[in-house]
Structure 1
C-alpha cells in the first residue's frame, strides 16, 4: 500500500504536465501559422505599412554581413545624421552600428544564409516570438501547475503587444522575449552560467536593451532575492549602455548624439547634440519636467498601459514585482518624444512584455487563493477582448486582406486585387539586373534590398565603394496604393502628387525615361528615352487626375 501511495500521484502529475504542454504547443502552432501567413501575404503583396522600410534595412544589413561587409547598408546610411542633417549623400559602406548597436543579429546569420530573403526575416521573427512563449511556459511551471501556466502562456500569444509587433516588419526586439524569459528561468533554477550568458545576449540585442535588464536587476535587488547579483546586473546594464552610446557607437558616426538622442529626448537638453550622459543629467536636474512628461498626455498614457495589462486580466496593476521589472522600460517609453513610442503595433511594446508576464507569475504564486472560477472566467473574457481589439486595429495592415483600411470613406482592397497588383510589380522588378543600383518606394524597397546600391525614394544619388557620387540607374515607384489611400489619408494624397510631379520633372529634363508602366507602377531608367507604350500608359493614368 505504501508503494502504491508513493506512485499514485505520478501519473496524474504527468497527465497534467502533458495537458499543459499540449495546450501551449497548440496555441504556439496557431500563433506561428497565422502570423506567418499574414506577414508573408502582406510582404508578397507589396502592401505598404508605416515601417515597410525597416524590412529593407535589416535585409540589406544581413545580406552585406553575409558577404563580409559587416552591418553595412546604403538604406541605413539614408537615416544617418550626415544625410538627414547635413544633406550629404548616403554611403554604401556606412555601418548601421552608429545608429543601433545590434551584434546579436549575427546569431541568426547562418539561418539567413539558408534563404537570403526579406521574407525569411519575417519567418525568423515569428519563430523567435513563438519560442519566447514556450520559454514563458517553462518559467511559469517553476511556480504553477500546468493549467495556470498554460493560461499565462496562452495570454502571451493573445497579447496585442506580442501579436502586433510580430506582424510588423522585422525588428531586433523580436529576440527580447526569448532571451529575457530564458534568463529569468535560469535565475529561478539557479543556473547562473546560463543567466549571465543570456544577460549578455540581451545586452547585445540593441544599445537600449540595457534598460530592460536594468529593470530585471532592480527587481532582483529590491526584492532582496538576489541582492548582490541584482546590483551587479544594474551596474553592468547601465555601464554597458553608457559605454556604448558615449564611446563605442560614436566611433562609427556621431548619429546617436546628433540625431537619436536629440529627437527622442531633446526637450530635456535644448541643444543640437546630446549624449546619453547629458540627457540623464538633465533629467536628474529637472524632476518636475520628467514627472510632467510621464503623465502627459494622460489619456494616451492610460490607454497604452491598459492595453498592456488587458491580456493578464490587469494583474500587473496590483503586482509590485511587475512594477519593479517594468518601471524603467516604461519610463523610457513615456519620456520619448517619438510619437510611435506608445504604439502597441511597433517593437517598443515588446520591451514591457517580459516584466509584465513574470510579474504576473509571481503575483499568482503569492495569491493562489484568488484563482477561482469567476476570476478565470474574467481572465478568459479579457483574452477575448484583447484579441478583438488586436484584430480590429488591423496591426501593421497585416489583416487588410479582410479588414478595410478605412470605413468612412470606404477603402478596401480585396485579396485578388492585391495579388493582381503584386503580379504587375513583380513583372517590373524582373527587368532590373540583380547588381544594378535602384531606388524604390517604401513598399517595394525591401524586395530590392539584397544588393549593394539601393535607396528609398526620393533618394536617387549615393556614394559607391569607389567613393564616387553616382545616380541610381533604376527607379520603381508605386502610385497605385497612395492613390487608393488618398481618399482617407491626406498624407497619401500629398505623397501621390509629389511623386507625380517628380516623375514629370524627370521625364521633361531627360534624367529618367519610362521603361514600363503597369497597374499604377512605374519603372524608370536613367538616361534612356521613354518607351512609347509606357509613356502612353503613364499619360492615360495621370492626366485624368490632373
Structure 2
C-alpha cells in the first residue's frame, strides 16, 4: 500500500471523511438537531420491516389532502405519491438488522464515502495516480458533498455512488452493469431521471456512444413522464397539486399541473423561463462557484462538465424558492457527478498543466471550500461552534445542549414504544419507529381502523424554539403556537401535564395534571420573553 502513495492518500482522506462525518452526524442526532425528514425516512423504513412498504403518517402530514384539504394525517398513507423511491428497498435488509434512525445516518455517510472510492477508480481510468488522487480529495472537501452528508438522511445520497459506478462501467465497457445502475438511478426518486438524461445527452453530443446516449435519454425521459403522470397519481394527488406548483408554479396559471403542463408552460412562456434561469444572477453565479471551487475552477473550462451537469443544473435553476440554491442541501448532489467527471476528462486532455504551482493553488481551493463549509454550518451541525446569529446573538453551547438532552430523555422514557404520539420537529426522529406519530401541534390522525383519534401522548420542546426565536420568525411563531395549544389542552382537561423539564412539556390524553409539573410549567412561562 505504501508503495502506492496516491492510493494511500485517498484511503486516508476517505477514512478521515467517514469518521468525522459519522461523528458529526451522530452527534447531531443524539443532541436533538436531526429534524423532521430523518423521522420520515426512519418511519418509512420501520413500516417497511413490518410489511407496510412506503407508508408514513409523517409524510401524510405533508400531503395535499392535509395541507390543502384540511384532512387529518393517515397512518396508511403511501409516500410514493410524493416521492417515488423504490431504490430504498435495497437497504431495507440492513435496516431490519439494525432498526434505528442511527442506521440511516451511518448508511448515508457510507454511501457518500464509497462514492469517493469509486470516483478514484473512475479517475484512474484516465489520469495518473497523483492527479486522480487530487480529484478524489476535492470530492471529500467539496461543500456540495459535505453539506448534504451532514444533513438528515435523504434518498439523493445514493446518486453519486450509482452515477460514478455507471460511468466507470461505461469506461470499462461493462454494459450489463451500466444498464443495471441506470435502472437503479431511475429508482432513486421520480426526478433522478434528469441526472441520467444528462448523461445520455453527453453521450450523444460528444459522439462517444450516440446510440446508447439516445437510448438513455429516451428511457429516462419516458420513465419520468410515465411515473409522474400515470403511476404516482395512483397513490395521491401530491405531484400535481403540491410539488409541481410549489417548485414550478411560475410556469402555469392553474392551481394544479402535471409535468407535461409545466413543460408546455416553459415552451409557451419562454420569457418566464429565461427570467427564472438568470435570476437572481448573483446567487446562481455563487452557486456555480461553490461547485467549481474545490476543483480549482477547472469544471468551468470543461465542456464535458457543462454537458453532464447541464440538466441537473437547469432543474435547480428553473425552480422557484431560495433553498434550491443552497449548496449544502441534498439537491446539490445531483450536480456533483457531472462536475467531477467533466473535470476528469479535462485533465485527461491537459495533463501537463498539473504543475506544482497549480497543485498548491488547488490545495488552497480545497482548504477554502472546507472553510466555507464550516462557516455555512450545514443543517446546524456545528451549532456549538458557529453562532446561528450575531445580531441578535444566538448561540447554544455544548454543555448547555447536552444538559437539555438529558432532560428530554427523562421524559421520552415515559412514552411507551407502541403509543401514538405527537412531537415537535427535533424530537420526531427519536420517536419515529412507530405506526402512529405526527408533528405537534397536530394531535389527530386516522388509524388503521379508519378512525380519527387523538394521540395518546404529546411532547413539545419549547426550549429549542426559545433559544432561536429572538432571531428567527419561524421559531417565534412555533413558540407562541406551542404555548397556546398546551395551555388550551391543560385547561380543557383533554390532556394532562404529566412531565416538565427544561422547557420540555409532556402531555398524556385523559390523565390528571401532575401538580409539580404544572407549577414548573407556570413558572417557566414567566421566563419567556417573546421578541
Shorter-normalised TM range = over 0.9
1:399 equivalent among 382, 387, 391 = 382
Q: Which residue, 147, 155, 167 being the options, matches 2:138?
A: 155
1:20 aligns with 2:6: yes
> Could you give the per-residue CA deviations for residues 414-457 of structure 1, whole angstroms, max 9, x where no partner exists?
22221111111111111001110000000000111100000011
Answering whether residue 473 of structure 2 is matched by residue 490 of structure 1, we say: yes
- 8 Å CA contact 2:60–2:66 kept in 1: the answer is yes
1:40 maps to which residue?
26
Between the aligned partners of 2:474 and 2:435, the Cα distance in structure 1 is 30
Q: In the alignment, which residue of structure 2 is the partner of 1:103?
A: 86
**Equivalent of residue 378 in structure 1, options 342, 361, 371:** 361
Secondary structure of the residue aligned to 1:341 is: helix
Matched, 1:453 2:436: yes
Normalised TM-score (structure 2): 0.98
SS state at 1:476 partner: strand
Shift of 1:106: 0.4
Residue 99 of structure 1: how far off its partner (Å): 0.4
Residue in 2 aligned with 1:5? none
**1:57-85 Cα distance to aligned partner (Å, 9 max, x none):** 00000000111001001001111111111
Within 2, Cα distance between the matches of 1:414 and 1:328? 42
Contact 2:394 2:471 (8 Å CA) reproduced: yes
* Selected match of 1:241 from 213, 224, 227: 224
- From 61, 70, 73, the equivalent of 1:78 is 61
* Equivalent-residue separation in structure 2 for 1:15 and 1:187 (angstroms): 30
Cα deviation, residue 400, structure 1 = 1.5
Q: CA deviation at 1:15?
A: 6.7
Q: Aligned partners of 1:405 and 1:281: how far apart in 2? A: 42
- 2:504 is matched with which residue? 521
Shift of 1:126: 0.4
TM superposition shift of 1:407: 2.4
**2:181 matched residue in structure 1:** 198
Quote the offset at 1:401 in angstroms.
Answer: 2.5
The residue matched to 2:54 in structure 1 has which SS?
coil
Counterpart CA distance in 1 for 2:261 and 2:378 is 36
**CA apart distance, 1:495:** 1.6
SS of match in other structure, 1:514 = strand
2:74 matched residue in structure 1: 91
Alpha-carbon separation, structure 1, partners of 2:480 and 2:2: 64
How big is the alpha-carbon RMSD for the aligned residues of Structure 1 and Structure 2?
Answer: 1.1
Counterparts in 2 of 1:15 and 1:40: CA distance versus 1, 3 Å: closer
| Cα separation, 2, equivalents of 1:239 and 1:28 | 37
Contact 2:250 2:272 in 1 (8 A): no
In the other structure, the counterpart of 2:270 is: 287
Q: Deviations over 1:492-540 (max 9, x none)?
A: 2222122111111111111211010001100001122210010011011
2:17 aligns with 31
Unaligned runs of 5+ in 1: 1-13
For residues 338-390 of structure 1, the C-alpha deviation after alignment (integer angstroms, 9 at most, x for no partner) is 32111112110100000000000000111112111111111111101000010
Matched-pair contact (CA < 8 Å) for 2:309–2:339 = yes
Q: Residues 315-464 of structure 1 correspond to what in structure 2 (within 5 A)?
A: 315-464=298-447
Partner SS for 1:442: coil
**SS of 1:402 mapped into structure 2:** coil
User: What is the SS of the residue equivalent to 1:207?
Assistant: coil
Equivalent residue of 2:188, what SS?
coil
Is 2:466–2:528's contact at 8 Å kept on the other side of the alignment? no
Q: What does 1:155-234 correspond to in 2, within 5 Å? A: 155-234=138-217
**SS at 1:477 equivalent:** strand
Unpaired runs of 5+ in structure 2?
none
Instruction: Show the counterpart of 1:3.
Output: none
Q: Which residue of 1 aligns with 2:47?
A: 64
Secondary structure of 2:325's aligned partner: coil
Q: Secondary structure at the match of 1:345?
A: coil
Farther-moved stretch of structure 1 (332-341 vs 150-159) = 332-341
Q: Normalization by structure 1: what TM-score? A: 0.95
Q: State the partner residue of 1:261.
A: 244
